[in-house]
């Protein structure tokens, strides 16, 4: 046995892994530092939030054609990618809160309670608590509970029991963050499922709603309806095809037009974040006969298994020192990664490449075998 050779190879492998798992991610997130893109006054103290799109942790429903070994390897690498990034961007960016836009699981709507609880524990290990950081995870996606009339009341109740009610307003940085359960409000056959969500939305029709005293930001799993021939996603979207407007078994790519209009006109948000699609999309919804607009950002998937080449997170900076509604409407530039809505600014932050490390690990392993 050539111990010096083995020691050299061990050091080489450790160096390669350490670089791609710790060093490079650290420098990637350094490029997203808040002060690099915020435009607040120097003395400001904004609220910083990270928005996570569709982690959809891999399970037995993700790749039914794969063998047990292939699926296990996929779970290990995909969980590590989410967990590693979660801890490093939390350390580098030091957010005040983290908001998930749904689809926490992949087959969550399919599992019995025994399996679901195991996956719930696994999810909490992947996205472990960070001291001083508030995590808002109560928005369900169609992969968590189903969509509309396809939702099972028992599984809907289970999600709410463990993650909390989505239909609520959380005040962050002098902004009303409106967390909406748009998969449940789309259910018309079972009033037990949609009643709470419908009542919550109707409360914003009342001009005296106290949450309307602050600028509002809506968080929804399902994107709002759009006319794709007029409302294009912009150059930062990976797919060159138009945003899909379709429906199928347990999914709908956009909300119904009437529901979308109620959300925009009753809540009148300055900004809206959605998920589900996995790719980035920035459009504007007209208000007041097109005098004002609401920016909607569909957040990219944060997972290496999300079907996008460059996973990302969305950064949200909130600064409203006047503690009131801001009627300033900014003309957005779709060519940049930043969207400005007066008292709220958001920035597209790309995650480290999920596949580049795997290529280098493979090359290093092949070299090690050849050299030995």
Convert the pLDDT of each residue in 265-278 to its tens digit.
Answer: 999 999 999 999 99
Convert the pLDDT of each residue in 138-148 to its tens digit.
Answer: 999 999 999 99
pLDDT at 329 > cutoff 60 = no
DSSP code of residue 16 = H
pLDDT at 334 > cutoff 80 = no
Full 3-state SS string of 242-306: CCCCCEECCEECCCCHHHHHHHHHHHCCCEEEECCCCCCEEEEEEECCCCEEEEEEECCECCCCC
pLDDT > 70: what percent of the chain?
A: 96
Helix, strand, or coil (residue 26): helix
pLDDT at 320 > cutoff 60 = yes
Least confident of 6-15, 237-246, 248-257: 6-15
Convert the pLDDT of each residue in 171-187 to its tens digit.
Answer: 999 999 999 999 999 99
Integer Cα distance of 260 and 245 in angstroms: 13
| Phi/psi of residue 174, nearest 5 degrees | 60, 35
Segment holding 350, helix H or strand E: strand 344-350
Quickly state the pLDDT bin for 367 (edges 50, 70, 90): confident
DSSP code of residue 20 = I
Helix, strand, or coil (residue 228): coil
Least confident of 55-64, 255-264, 328-337, 349-358: 328-337
Q: Domains of the chain: which residue ranges?
A: 46-86+95-366
Quickly state the pLDDT bin for 372 (edges 50, 70, 90): confident
pLDDT at 1 > cutoff 60 = no
Helix, strand, or coil (residue 146): coil
**DSSP one-letter string for 32-100:** T-HHHH--S-TT---EEEEEEB---B--TTT-TTS-HHHHHHHHHHHHHHHHHHHHHHHHHH--SEEEE
Convert the pLDDT of each residue in 10-42 to its tens digit.
Answer: 899 999 999 999 999 999 999 999 999 999 999
Residue 340 in tokens: 């400005």
Of residues 160, 157, 95, the one with CA closest to residue 132: 95
Contacts of 245 (CB under 8 A, 6+ apart): 225, 226, 228, 253, 254
Beta bridge partners of 220: 180
Chain centroid to CA 294: how far? 19
CB distance 310 to 238 below 8 Å = yes
Instruction: State residue 368's pLDDT score.
Output: 82
Residue in the structure block whose two tokens are 């609880």: 117
Average pLDDT rounded to a whole number, residues 185-202? 95
Q: What's the whole-number average pLDDT of the chain?
A: 93
| Phi/psi of residue 50, nearest 5 degrees | -110, 130
Question: Would the CA dihedral through 56, 60, 63, 69 be positive or negative?
Answer: positive
**Fold classification of 46-86+95-366 (topology level):** Purple Acid Phosphatase; chain A, domain 2 (3.60.21)
The model carries a pTM of 0.93
Convert the pLDDT of each residue in 119-128 to its tens digit.
Answer: 999 999 999 9
Integer Cα distance of 79 and 58 in angstroms: 8
Q: What radius of gyration, in Å, describes the C-alpha atoms of the chain?
A: 22
Letter string b/e over residues 114-145, b meaning 16 or more CB atoms within 10 A of that residue's CB: eebeebbeebeebbeebeeeebbbbbbbbbbb
pLDDT at 325 > cutoff 90 = no
CB count within 10 Å of CB 330 equals 14
CB distance 332 to 187 below 8 Å = no
Average pLDDT rounded to a whole number, residues 348-354? 97
Chain centroid to CA 232: how far? 20
């Amino acid at each position: 046995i050539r111990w010096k050779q083995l020691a050299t190879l061990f050091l080489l492998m450790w160096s390669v892994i350490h670089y791609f798992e710790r060093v490079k991610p650290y420098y990637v997130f350094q490029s997203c530092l808040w002060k690099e893109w915020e435009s607040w006054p120097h003395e400001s103290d904004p609220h910083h939030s990270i928005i996570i799109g569709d982690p959809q942790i891999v399970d037995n429903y993700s790749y039914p054609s794969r063998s047990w070994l292939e699926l296990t390897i996929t779970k290990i690498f995909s969980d590590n990618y989410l967990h590693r990034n979660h801890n490093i961007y939390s350390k580098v960016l030091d957010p005040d809160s983290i908001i998930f836009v749904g689809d926490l699981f992949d087959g969550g709507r399919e599992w019995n309670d025994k399996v679901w609880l195991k996956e719930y524990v696994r999810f909490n290990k992947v996205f472990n608590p960070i001291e001083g950081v508030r995590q808002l995870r109560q928005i369900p996606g169609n992969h968590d509970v189903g969509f509309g009339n396809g939702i099972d009341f028992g599984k809907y109740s289970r999600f709410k029991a463990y993650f909390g009610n989505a239909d609520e307003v959380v005040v962050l940085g002098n902004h009303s963050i409106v967390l909406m359960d748009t998969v449940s409000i789309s259910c018309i056959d079972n009033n037990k499922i949609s009643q709470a969500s419908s009542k919550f939305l109707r409360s914003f029709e009342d001009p005296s709603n106290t949450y309307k005293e602050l600028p509002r930001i809506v968080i929804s799993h399902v994107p709002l309806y759009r006319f794709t021939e007029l409302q294009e996603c912009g150059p930062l979207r990976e797919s060159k095809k138009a945003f899909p407007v379709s429906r199928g078994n347990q999914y709908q790519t956009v909300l119904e037009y009437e529901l979308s209009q109620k959300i925009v006109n009753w809540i009148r948000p300055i900004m809206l974040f959605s998920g589900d699609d996995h790719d980035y999309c920035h459009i504007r919804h007209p208000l007041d006969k097109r005098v004002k607009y609401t920016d909607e950002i569909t957040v990219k998937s944060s997972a290496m298994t999300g079907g996008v080449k460059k996973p990302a997170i969305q950064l949200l900076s909130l600064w409203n020192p006047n503690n009131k509604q801001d009627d300033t409407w900014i003309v957005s530039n779709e060519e940049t990664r930043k969207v400005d809505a007066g008292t709220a600014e958001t920035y597209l932050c790309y995650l480290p490449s999920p596949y580049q490390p795997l290529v280098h690990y493979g090359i290093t392993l092949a070299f090690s075998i050849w050299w030995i």
